[in-house]
Amino acid sequence: MRGATWLLMAVMAGSAQADERDVWMFAQWAGDHQTRPFREMLVDARLYGVVPIHQLLRSASDWKQCHASPFVVPPSANWPAVRSTLALIKTLDSQGLIGQFEVVSAYRDPSLNRCAGGAVGSAHTRAFAVDILLPRGADPKPLCQFWRQNGQAWNMGLGRYPTGRIHLDTAGYRTWGGDGSAGSSFCSKSI
């Protein structure tokens, strides 16, 4: 539950604005939504807790403006991609490449993705992707090194947006930067 720990530390230090889609909001939402099969899948895959469940089920950050749900369980057809992406995150974490992080966006249904300005055919909709925040001052360059050395084997997508968010998925070996092109990727530049 590193993401939750980082969020608490960031809020206490005043270095980040807390996402209102917290554990308590999730508990209220989960009371009216079926999450058990998804949770059981994560437990069976030994991936439960890689990302706190309330972060893992966060929809787009623009959920309010888009009149959408703050959380969503990905369709079961996407669960193999969920497992693959979480296994990647677990590996990145075990190698000390991401340390503390917060997932701010994961699966999105296509209409929410459109409203939130997501790319057409985004891995957030067709597979499973996460956008994460690292603590202020954290160096994301080790992710590029991993992507160069292991990204193809993982089928890893790695992007970084002008906001500082980092996109991770296992839906295709590629990288991009703020303008959506590979040429603007922080991984395309020599380190």
* 42 within some domain: yes
Q: Does 35 map to a domain?
A: yes
Chain centroid offset of residue 81 CA: 12
* Coil vs helix vs strand at 41: helix
pLDDT value at residue 136: 87
Q: Answer yes or no: is 159 within a domain.
A: no
| pLDDT score recorded for residue 19 | 83
Query: What are residue 78's phi and psi, to 5 degrees?
Result: -90, -5
Q: Which domain holds residue 67?
A: 2-130
Name the residue with tokens 């677990």.
90
Residue 21 within any structural domain of the chain? yes
pLDDT of residue 99: 84
Q: Cβ distance 57 to 70 under 8 Å?
A: no
Residue 100 tokens, joined:
């503390």
Q: What is the pLDDT of residue 16?
A: 43
- Report the DSSP beta bridge partners of residue 130: 168
Distances in whole angstroms, Cα of residue 59 to Cα of each of 82, 118, 145: 14, 12, 29
Residue 62 and residue 116 in contact, taking contact as beta carbons nearer than 8 Å: yes
**Quick check: is 171 in a domain?**
no
Dist. CA 153–CA 88, nearest whole Å: 11
Residue 18 lies in a domain: yes
126 assigned to some structural domain: yes
Q: How many domains does the chain have?
A: 1
User: At a CB cut-off of 8 Å and minimum separation 6, what does 76 contact?
Assistant: 37
Q: Give the pair of three-digit tokens for residue 134.
A: 């690292």
Structural domain contains residue 107: yes
Per-residue pLDDT of the chain (191 residues; tens, 9 = 90+): 444 444 434 433 333 456 889 999 999 999 889 999 999 999 999 999 999 999 999 999 999 999 999 999 999 999 999 999 999 999 999 999 998 899 999 999 999 999 988 888 899 999 999 999 998 888 889 999 999 999 999 999 999 988 889 999 999 999 998 888 888 898 876 44
Residue 183: predicted pLDDT: 87
In this prediction, residue 40 carries a pLDDT of 97
Neighbours of 97 (CB within 10 A): 18
Compute the distance between CA of residue 156 and CA of residue 153 in angstroms, rounded to an integer: 8
